[in-house]
Amino acid sequence: MNSITTMARKFKSLRAAALVSLALSATISIAQTPSVVVASTTSTEQSGLFGYLLPEFKKASGIDVKVVAVGTGQALDMGRRGDADVLFVHDQVAEEKIVAEGFAVKRFPVMYNDFVLVGPVADPAKTKGNDIVEALKKLNAANANFISRGDKSGTHAAELRYWKTAGVEPPAFANYKACGCGMGPALNMAASTGGYVLADRGTWLSFKNRADLTILVEGDKRLFNQYGVMLVNPAKHPKTKVAEGQKFVDWVISPAGQAVIAGYQINGQQLFFPNATK
């Protein structure tokens, strides 16, 4: 009996040691996997682009990417604080400003799509057409139910520029509501209330809960929506993962990365159009 008990104890000890060894190996393996933090917009995340793009980047580079999807303004602030390695956003004026401030190394154009004005099929404010400024004037005059991102995102910044051009600054009619939320939640609010909302086409095409919503305004050249990518400046934030971050930047603007972006479609429709230039 003593012999059996001793053998059982030895077996348990060996088993425990093996489990500890496996756990340590797994921890070391995880620790050795290179990674990078990309601060980006909700549109790139909620459109499904990153779910399509990042596995291809991992395959090509072996680098894991952690995406923090927030409004463009918040993403740029992450870069200023050094909380991200790469910024992938869509507000060119703000992007050029952060480069001028020295918080990002250099901005590269990556891809574009466009904004669209989405609203109820009945279109009570009679906005339908290809002039976003005239449409906003009509929304203001009709006191229409309008959902704004209100989150300092690239989409919100574009919306405010259009309101300014329309002479409605700031928009303050009774049914103008700023949700302080991402593109998906803003579309959900518009769908549930029969409201109007400015959306990027990529998120709209991937949006499932459309209810009675449809695209009402598109094709205005002012609705062009450019995306850029930047490495956070290690001179400001020495903890920036320069090698891994630069590999991500180089890959998304390379022919291989651009081809992956061009290949992302929903129901046969391309969501983003690559236009990188070095």
Domains in the chain with CATH codes? 33-112+225-274 (3.40.190.10), 114-223 (3.40.190.10)
Residue 31 pLDDT more than 60?
A: no
Answer with the residue of higher pLDDT: 166 or 20: 166
This prediction has a pTM of 0.85
% of the chain at pLDDT higher than 70 = 88
Cα angle vertex 196, ends 194, 200, to 5°?
A: 125
Mean pLDDT lowest for which of 16-25, 45-54, 84-93, 170-179? 16-25
Residue 35 pLDDT more than 60?
A: yes
Using one digit for the tens of pLDDT, what is the confidence trace for 48-65?
999 999 999 999 999 999
If you average pLDDT over residues 119-135, what whole number do you get?
98
Using one digit for the tens of pLDDT, what is the confidence trace for 73-104?
999 999 999 999 999 999 999 999 999 999 99
Residue 29 pLDDT more than 50?
A: no
